[in-house]
């Protein structure tokens, strides 16, 4: 028995007039919801469409990292968005998605326990709760579609060795009843709202909204061969790092890991 009910989800989205999440494609098993969404986007599927799988056999995160995707336990979804943005303005959408995940997760755990780790992770009690993978389909200098893939650990209570010490789930952190259908509807509502605000007010507005949720701020980090202390996120969505040499550098992308100041 799965706690993701496509018919119930669709009815809830329509009842609340939420466009993101419809049409909904639910797959019992797939290799990657992002791949499914990209194929459908190229074929002209409507903006807001969502691809949800009960299990992914080749789920992935940024930079080709595998995403732990056991059957029936967590939420694996990819949205097709068509914001008509220049390609250079696509990366900050991972921050928008991060805010949407926090909005949904904060229904089950206090928001004080949630943080966003630039550029694409959501942390709960210092461990990874969710990951985001944003991929654009490029047409000239603009993105004809943006695929926003989101994986949220919901029911998993035991993780494999490579991630056992760094991953968590809502089930491990909350005694509240958890229902993937309910979480998905909340995520769709939040993503629609956050995207509307982002497109109306720009990246700087999104950055201000997550300022108090910044997991890296003030911590020693390593990114793209540079070591220093994270200084927050710039108004254009780039990570600011005060290097050990005393200069401030900005990064539009990259994998920031916690490090030590020499």
Using a CB cutoff of 8 Å and minimum separation of 24, what contacts does 157-165 make?
A: 159/68, 160/68, 163/68, 163/128
The per-residue pLDDT for 67 is 56
Q: Which residues contact 90 (CB under 8 A, 6 or more apart)?
A: 134, 136, 143, 146
The per-residue pLDDT for 60 is 57
Asked if pLDDT for residue 175 goes beyond 60, the answer is yes
pLDDT digits (tens, 9 = 90+) for 234-249: 999 999 999 999 999 9
Distance CA 163, CA 31 (A): 21
Distance CA 31, CA 210 (A): 32
The per-residue pLDDT for 262 is 43
Average pLDDT on 173-198 reads 97
| Contact indicator for 203, 235 with CB cutoff of 8 Å | yes
pLDDT digits (tens, 9 = 90+) for 102-140: 999 999 999 999 999 999 999 999 999 999 999 999 888
In angstroms, the Cα distances linking 73 to 1, 49, 76, 123, 135 are 11, 22, 10, 18, 25
Average pLDDT in the chain: 92
For residue 228, list its beta bridge partners: 221, 243
pTM of the model: 0.93
Average pLDDT on 72-78 reads 93
Tokens of 33: 């919801």
Asked if pLDDT for residue 69 goes beyond 90, the answer is no
Asked if pLDDT for residue 61 goes beyond 60, the answer is no
The per-residue pLDDT for 1 is 47
Q: Which residues contact 175 (CB under 8 A, 6 or more apart)?
A: none
> How many C-beta atoms surround the C-beta of residue 86 within 10 A?
10
Going along the chain from its start, the domains and CATH numbers come out as 6-213 (3.30.930.10), 220-258 (2.30.30)
Average pLDDT on 26-55 reads 96
The per-residue pLDDT for 100 is 98
The per-residue pLDDT for 240 is 97
| Contact indicator for 61, 96 with CB cutoff of 8 Å | no
């Amino acid at each position: 028995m799965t706690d993701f009910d496509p018919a119930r989800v669709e009815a809830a989205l329509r009842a609340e007039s939420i466009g993101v999440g419809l049409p909904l494609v639910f797959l019992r098993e797939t290799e990657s919801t992002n791949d499914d969404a990209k194929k459908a986007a190229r074929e002209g599927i409507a903006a807001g469409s969502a691809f949800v799988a009960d299990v992914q056999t080749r789920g992935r995160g940024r930079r080709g990292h595998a995403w732990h995707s056991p059957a029936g336990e967590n939420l694996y979804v990819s949205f097709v968005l068509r914001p008509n943005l220049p390609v250079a303005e696509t990366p900050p959408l991972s921050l928008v998605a991060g805010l949407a995940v926090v909005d949904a997760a904060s229904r089950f755990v206090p928001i004080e326990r949630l943080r966003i780790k630039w550029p694409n992770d959501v942390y709960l009690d210092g461990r990874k709760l969710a990951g985001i993978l944003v991929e654009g389909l490029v047409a000239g200098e603009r993105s004809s579609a943006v695929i926003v893939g989101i994986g949220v650990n919901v029911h998993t209570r035991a993780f494999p060795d490579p991630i056992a010490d760094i991953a968590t789930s809502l089930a491990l952190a909350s005694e509240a009843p958890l229902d993937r259908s309910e979480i998905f509807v909340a995520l769709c509502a939040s993503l629609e709202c956050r995207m509307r605000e982002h497109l109306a007010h720009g990246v700087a507005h999104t950055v201000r909204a997550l300022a108090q949720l910044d997991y890296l701020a003030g911590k020693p980090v390593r990114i793209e061969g540079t070591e220093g202390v994270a200084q927050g996120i710039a108004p254009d969505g780039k990570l600011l790092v005060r290097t050990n040499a005393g200069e401030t550098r900005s990064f539009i992308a990259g994998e920031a890991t916690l490090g030590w100041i020499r």
